[in-house]
Amino acid sequence: MENPAYNIISNPGKPEGTKTGNNSGKKLFLESYGCQMNFSDSEIVASILSDAGFTATGNVHESDVALLNTCSIRDHAEQRVRHRLDEFQSVKKRKPHLVIGILGCMAERLKTKLLEEEKIVDIIAGPDSYRQLPLLLKQVESGRKAINTILSAEETYADITPVRINGNGVTAFISIMRGCDNMCSFCVVPFTRGRERSRNPETIVEEAKSLFDTGYREVTLLGQNVDSYLWHPLLGTKKEIIKEKANADAEDKADTVGFPDLLGLVATINPLLRVRFSTSYPKDISDEVINVMMKHENICRHIHLPVQSGSDDVLMRMNRGYTRDWYLDRVKKIRSVIPGCAISTDIITGFCGETEDDQIMTLSLMDEVRFDFAYMFKYSERPGTPAAKKYKDDVPDEIKTKRLQEVIALQQKLSLESNRRAVGKIHKVLVEGKSKRSDKHLFGRNTQNAVVVFPEGTCKPGDYVNVIADGCTAATLTGKVIG
């Protein structure tokens, strides 16, 4: 989802007027592509550059610095950025002093290639180098191109208070870890975002508290694989060392904070603060996580659990580390402990070697689980990934498309059925803002993450309201506020 402009909505914990640096009066245009983690990173970039004196603008034509925070997950995502760079080229023709920078996964993946290919790029900054942005900008001022794509084993930006971008003042993302150690064979993320590391839980809780105090009512804890969050005050970021020491020493064990502990800590800040998290990983989601969700009503009844494929052969080639039966067992466990918990997923069609039988297995798994929601993609080979090295991208594009269409059609039916089951029931909805379709209607989400639209009445964003659902589409519930 593209984020064409940004406004500073609030910056909890940071007093007004603390700008430093010699950039006052300079304007920053920042646009983000890709996953929620990228949008969350852009809030860190905005904070760093706001401290360096920049003010935000939503108009690239009036900016002094234009940055694109990019995504490499599929080729299509990279093509969109290249297209945007072409547009920037024409702006630069009229405004030669405009500084153009590429941040994020594409910067990390392509490194200096971007300087060679895209002559107009002045700055290339990978996901772990955002603290250096003021310095990199200085370097450009002195007439040189600036590049930093060094990945870090420690950087978590724990001390940086994000500037909330395009926010609604009600819901916010909190990054709890960075990188990924999973090595799913199709995925470029371990190469662009580096090793997994967890952020100090105290800073996470502080950020959540401060958001709550400034009126926010929902936080989503973000990581590529939140179930492997692990932190110890003295043992650094290496999961293996923490696990080993915690097994051997009761004191170390007591000091270790895992994801279930972190969820509990954030959930106890205030019962009015909703807690969501993303993304869970099927091989790692533990019974403790499921149990802690049950203990706290304000941890939302929704788990995003990407399955990718319903075929064991494909899952093996994807190096996902679980089987179809394992996945189904996790779903059974979730539903037995938390009745009514929504489950959403990601699915890839046309991965290397995928047959019609594999596709049938994916469709049958979808039917069996009855996913409430899904993100669905055609496989896109990423250079340098284990799949690109080991397997042939041998499913023709039209077959990938046909299979994707089958998956989308089935999910459309399942999402509609899921919403139909919710009609006639009362939902506790956190109001987020005006409905896109009508300014006489508001929208919010229920605990299962379904969007609910209802007439405005007297409520406002940030309120909790009870809504009786009286209609639905596959994407939305409609209803009326009661009580």
Asked whether the beta carbons of 145 and 189 are under 8 A apart, the reply is: no
Q: How many residues does the chain have?
A: 483
* Rounded Cα gap, residues 299 and 51, in angstroms: 34
Asked whether the beta carbons of 309 and 348 are under 8 A apart, the reply is: yes
Asked whether the beta carbons of 175 and 55 are under 8 A apart, the reply is: no
User: 237 or 478, CB closer to ligand SF4?
Assistant: 237
Sign of CA dihedral 210, 226, 258, 197: negative
Among ligand 5AD, ligand SF4, none, residue 190 binds (CB under 5-8 Å by kind): ligand SF4
- Nearest approach in angstroms of CB 372 to ligand 5AD is 16
Among ligand SF4, ligand 5AD, none, residue 225 binds (CB under 5-8 Å by kind): ligand SF4
- Nearest approach in angstroms of CB 267 to ligand SF4 is 24
Residues contacting ligand SF4: total by CB under 6 A: 10
Instruction: Give the residue, chosen from 186, 231, 327, 371, that forms a contact with ligand 5AD under the rule CB under 6 A.
Output: 186
* Planar angle of CA 15, 17, 22, nearest 5 degrees: 130
User: 303 or 431, CB closer to ligand 5AD?
Assistant: 303
Asked if 147 touches ligand 5AD (CB under 6 A), the answer is no
136 token code pair:
């990199």
Asked if 208 touches ligand SF4 (CB under 6 A), the answer is no
Among ligand 5AD, ligand SF4, none, residue 348 binds (CB under 5-8 Å by kind): ligand 5AD
User: 191 or 212, CB closer to ligand SF4?
Assistant: 191
Give me the 268-287 binding string for ligand SF4, x by CB under 6 A, dash otherwise.
-------------x------
Instruction: Give, as ranges, the residues between 181 and 200 that touch ligand SF4 (CB under 6 A).
Output: 182-184, 187, 189-190
393 token code pair:
């991208």
Instruction: Give, as ranges, the residues between 41 and 100 that touch ligand 5AD (CB under 6 A).
Output: 73-74
Other Cβ atoms closer than 10 A to 437: 10
* Rounded Cα gap, residues 6 and 109, in angstroms: 26
Stretch that binds ligand 5AD, among 242-250, 377-385, 398-406, 475-483 (CB under 6 A): 377-385
Cβ-closest residue to ligand 5AD? 346
Asked if 284 touches ligand 5AD (CB under 6 A), the answer is no
Among ligand SF4, ligand 5AD, none, residue 182 binds (CB under 5-8 Å by kind): ligand SF4
Residues contacting ligand 5AD: total by CB under 6 A: 12
Give me the 216-235 binding string for ligand SF4, x by CB under 6 A, dash otherwise.
--------xx----------
* Rounded Cα gap, residues 96 and 316, in angstroms: 51
- Nearest approach in angstroms of CB 346 to ligand 5AD is 3
Asked if 303 touches ligand SF4 (CB under 6 A), the answer is no
Asked if 380 touches ligand 5AD (CB under 6 A), the answer is yes
Output the DSSP codes for 118-148: -TT--EEE-TT-GGGHHHHHHHHHTT--EEE
Asked if 180 touches ligand SF4 (CB under 6 A), the answer is yes
Asked whether the beta carbons of 305 and 344 are under 8 A apart, the reply is: yes
Among ligand 5AD, ligand SF4, none, residue 269 binds (CB under 5-8 Å by kind): none
User: 128 or 218, CB closer to ligand SF4?
Assistant: 128
- Nearest approach in angstroms of CB 304 to ligand 5AD is 9
229 token code pair:
């969050």
Instruction: For the chain, count helices (H), then strands (E).
Output: 16, 21
Task: Classify burial at 270, counting beta carbons within 10 Å of its beta carbon; exposed 0-12, middle 13-18, buried 19 or more.
Answer: middle
Amino acid identity of residue 474, one-letter, is A
Asked whether the beta carbons of 317 and 387 are under 8 A apart, the reply is: yes
Asked whether the beta carbons of 370 and 418 are under 8 A apart, the reply is: yes
* Rounded Cα gap, residues 9 and 256, in angstroms: 35
Q: Which chain residues interact with ligand SF4 by CB under 6 A?
A: 180, 182-184, 187, 189-190, 224-225, 281
